[in-house]
Structure 1
Amino acid sequence: MVKDKYFIYPKDVSAFGFDWGKLSLTVAPEVNGASRFSGGVVELPSGEGHSRHNHPGAEEIIFVISGEGEQMVEDETGNPITRKVASGCTIYVPESRFHSTKNTGDGQMLLFVVYSPAGPELALRDLPDFRLLPPGF
């Protein structure tokens, strides 16, 4: 666990690094004991994004802190709905639905993501481009 479990900056925790960006978990059982949800900051460089995926048994909230991009979320029949999103937009991803995000802007796109229940983000460790980045990296 981090030194101060109530006030956490992304630079204070290790991050999940990928070819498309990184996820710094700032709320999770292993970070501060959160048990009903987990979350953190996703950084997507310009032109990058994460491909279509889902989190079986979990819902997700994505909040666009800064930047702009395209977000896809499948509807209840499996049809993809794609929208342009920018800072201030909240995206709701229902349980087990496929979704993807791509940064279409010139600068970095920052997102805050929340998973409920906690844990589906741990499956990201199994991706071939996963690497654990030390705090501050």
Structure 2
Amino acid sequence: MSDPNKMFVYPKDVDAFGFDWGRLALTVAPEVNGAARFSGGVVDLPPGQGHARHNHPGAEEIIFVISGHGEQMVEDDQGNPVTRKVGPGCTVFVPESRFHSTLNTGPGPMQLFVVYSPAGPELALRDLPDFRVIPAGN
């Protein structure tokens, strides 16, 4: 990496992926700062919103709850949904290719930090019908 400034990234300083259910600001990714083995960023979910059941074929995911409260579903080894209440400080591991979903059940915003390994599955989000780019600073 030639630019040390790209090692320190705030969500407000990058374009975000916007959706009807919230937003994802990638702060670590090949296209942001040259990360080669993983990508990640901050997800903001308004009250009552969440992302639908989906998976990332060939990738694992870590979800860390920064703030807010919600329900997290992750499939078990047999494909059965396992749902737990989650809040600040909870780390959720989503094994490779497992279906999962998140719902903000609290009265305020919910903020998550997500990591994908290997990098790339988040790029498929650009194909969703409600995808839009939110310019940095907005």
- 1:111: which partner in 2? 112
The alpha carbon displacement at 1:54 in A equals: 0.1
Structure 1 gap ranges (5+): none
Q: Deviation above 2 Å: which 4+ runs of structure 1?
A: none
Q: Which amino acid aligns with 1:110?
A: Q
- 2:122: which partner in 1? 121
Q: Equivalents in 2 of 1:66, 1:133: separation in Å?
A: 22
Q: Which amino acid aligns with 1:58?
A: A
Q: Equivalents in 1 of 2:76, 2:119: separation in Å?
A: 23
Q: Structure 1 residues 3, 135: closer, same or farther in 2, change over 3 A? A: farther
- 2:50: which partner in 1? 49
How many equivalent pairs are there?
136
Q: Equivalents in 2 of 1:136, 1:96: separation in Å?
A: 33
Give the alignment's TM-score, normalised by structure 2.
0.97
Q: Equivalents in 2 of 1:18, 1:83: separation in Å?
A: 24
SS of 1:5's equivalent?
helix
Counting only pairs closer than 5 Å after superposition, residues 1-137 of structure 1 correspond to structure 2 as 4-137=5-138
Q: Equivalents in 1 of 2:14, 2:125: separation in Å?
A: 16
CA displacement, residues 43-100 of structure 1 (integer Å, 9 cap, x when unaligned): 0000000000000000000000000000000001000000000000000000000000
Q: Report percent identity of matched pairs.
A: 79
The alpha carbon displacement at 1:3 in A equals: 8.1
Give the alignment's TM-score, normalised by structure 1.
0.98
Q: Equivalents in 2 of 1:56, 1:133: separation in Å?
A: 26
SS of 1:132's equivalent?
strand
